[in-house]
Amino acid sequence: MKDQDVSFQDLNGLEYHPSLTGFIARIFQHEYVHLQGITLIERGAMQANNSLNEAVR
């Protein structure tokens, strides 16, 4: 699992810059992808396409 350095603001505008590690980093990454509007099926299709492109090279 990759560590994540993230930045965000709460509803009061206070900024936070935590370093996430382990399972919580993975959860954050998963939820961030959802906020971008990417579904599990779309992500799988993108990964499959990337693998195919690498195999062709």
pLDDT tens for the 57 residues of the chain, in order: 678 899 999 999 999 999 999 999 999 988 988 888 887 777 666 666 677 567 777
* Rounded Cα–Cα distance for residues 25 and 28 (Å): 5
Catalytic residue among 15, 31, 42, 54: 31
What per-residue confidence (pLDDT) applies to 9? 97
What per-residue confidence (pLDDT) applies to 33? 87
What per-residue confidence (pLDDT) applies to 45? 66
What per-residue confidence (pLDDT) applies to 49? 64
Give how many domains the chain has, as a whole number. 1
The answer to whether residue 31 is catalytic is yes
What is the widest separation between alpha-carbon atoms in the chain? 50
Contact 28, 2 (CB under 8 A): no
What per-residue confidence (pLDDT) applies to 34? 87
Is residue 28 classed as helix, strand or coil in its secondary structure? helix
Chain centroid to Cα 35, Å, comes to 9
What per-residue confidence (pLDDT) applies to 19? 96
- The parent domain of residue 50 ranges over 4-56
